[in-house]
Structure 1
Amino acid sequence: MARKIGSRYTANQILGRGSAGTVWLGEGPEGPVAIKLLREDLASDQELVGRFVQERTALLGLEHPNVVSVRDLVVDGNDLALVMDLVRGTDLRTRLDRDRRLAPEAAVAIVADVADGLAAAHAAGVVHRDVKPENVLLDMQGPLGPGGSHPALLTDFGVAKLIDTPRRTRATKIIGTPDYLAPEIVEGLPPRAAVDIYALATVLYELLAGFTPFGGGHPGAVLRRHVTERVAPLPGIPDELWQLIVQCLAKAPASRLRASELGTRLRELLPLVTGMPPLDVDEPDAEPAADEAPAAEEAAPAGERVRRRGAVPLVPGAKPADSNRDTHTSMRVPGPDELAGGARGTARVPRPTGAPRPGSARHRAATRRRRVALGAAAVALAAAAGVGAWLVASEDDAGATPQDSNSSAPATP
């Protein structure tokens, strides 16, 4: 059902839903547009509306081929909306859901595009704060790039900042998506441009591996890993590319590259990954709640394993078909004791393909088989030891003389 957005736009069809609002296919004076209509409770927040208006100039002035441009910001009664260019294609999350991982050449080309868009935003003083596959759109009508990749554009600039009002997110809260949050955000520091670099490096890792480096399990565990763990290496990629990823995932923000440097370096590395197939690595072991994982594994059909994706879903009722699944959330910042507790010092290492997941039905069955085999071996060993002792005793009895069997012979003087 069509609805008017302000005096200039009409929203005709829902394209996707997220925690921040709904994206519509709309029509404006200059043709088709995408309209992000924020939730009613956000629109009724006068403080947020004020910040919305303050951000108008910066957002409208952000123009770059790899950025989805904001054409207008509408404040009309209960409606609070961003009017953006319409990109005819899909988001990167949908592509990952379909292919699980990308060939390194395509992954590097896509992330280089996004880095170029971030460089323009950072130069204009705008920090995205929520870089993730859901916010990267692939223009299916654009020319194909390296590895058959479509042009990538970063969208949703300003949404995280708009939602992050002092009243809505106090000092004990953080805004973002756990899998992509830089350590300094978890520790309560203000977000700078380096948080976008960390998130984008996480996206690159996910495109290559099929899972995020620190994701999986409870959101609190994910946050702890960002602060305390080192990224597990990915086998099969050039060392130059791996070192680049490690640098951009550095715990210290100052150690990371700038967006412009990252885009340049990635394009320089493209010849090293040309023609490489997708990596053959399996998802690492997650840390689900002890009472949840076995039940999920037991409920899975025979021969199938429960796949725990790297990204932690935080939007209640979010459907895989959603084309714009925002996962902004407010979460408590863990204290120093919580961050220190349980840290293993190194990230979860990817398992070899086909290896059973600890805690899974396959793993428990294999453990039982090993225990039975060890028990049988122990019984056999004990039996063999008993038989050996009996044989030795029998030989001693057979070789004994009558004198031996009665008493010792008198001592010879």
Structure 2
Amino acid sequence: MKENYFTELDLIEPIQRVLREKNFTIPTPIQMGGIPIVLEGRDLIGCAQTGSGKTAAFALPILQNLSKNQSNPVRRSTRALVLAPTRELAVQISESFSLFGSHLRLRHAVVYGGVSRRSQIEKLERGVDILVATPGRLLDLMEDAKIVLGLAKVLVIDEADRMLDMGFIPDIKRIIAALPGIRQTLFFSATMPPAITGLAGNILHEPQHIEIASNVHTTPQIDQKVLFVDRNNKKALLIKLLADENVRRALVFTRTKYMAKDLSRQLVRQRVRSDDLHGDKTQAARQQALNSFHKGRIQVLVATDIASRGIDVDNISHVINYELPYEPENYIHRIGRTGRAGKKGTALSFCEASEVGYLRQIEKVIKQQLPVWETQPFHSHSAAACSSSAKHRSSSSSARYAGSSGRKRSRSKKRYGSYI
């Protein structure tokens, strides 16, 4: 199959120069398909997982279009607005605009909660070309007339399904009501549940659609395994795994912030370079943890699912699910942090007896059975037996419903279909 290159896209020289300097040569599928559409000024729906390169798919053409129509931003206004669900993702998107626009004379700002408003207001006072924002802080600034959206020409909604999960859709609608009716709208989501499909239908005009298959189905570079283990042996197993020299940079997921904090502290006591990332941390502390992980000062970052989207750190060798997620789709988002850009990655999932139901749901969503690492030193035969029993019950139920009216089977498809 013929490879495509950034040089084939109609990008201006200042942007091409940055791509050469950073050795970005081959665009991802979402970039190859999305950049021409955005350059033409058309609306776009991009359905792609985190790690697919979607930030560059909208950042590069937005920078180009704004630079070609250069004008001084009006005081307390923006020409382009990008909405992100979390502070971490907003910062990373802002950094991408800064990088790709380093040879352009455009002003951008990022606003998010959890920090003082003063410096953010000062940047907005002169007006900006591009504003990256979380919904809550943006509404706060709008209510105080620190930012007016009536001149915005472009709206980007990133990770719309995450916005839905976090209850931001009413805020998004309030923000959209303050924008001009004639604008370009770019809409990105990893999944398209009915509420998100409905929102997109109401705010986009004749959009082009690009769908990139999930990394789970298209990235054989991720070696996935399940490790059956009793709850009281999980920490010992984790420490044993982290001692392996092949585990160079590991992202460890827990379900709660309390477990993330406790586990990170225990790893530090075992002289494992570790930090944690969760909602209780101040923005400064969260950014410091991310920077330490990015620069290799720590080996392990223990995170809750708030970080399963938006962490943009290269060369993560291992994702370890210390606790399986409540929602099976979060498994896809978690493991998508490794095995990126054609590199190999490993995803290890601990499973105690009480988590077997979560494991079965995950396997339904990804349409494959995870191989079991039976030779690991803390293998739990009882948890494995629970898994086998659950699998047998599931098969028996499927056989029963296959011969009935089919109503239960159709409900099951509805529950999982939007995530596949």
TM-score w.r.t. the length of structure 2 is 0.25
Greater radius of gyration (CA): 1
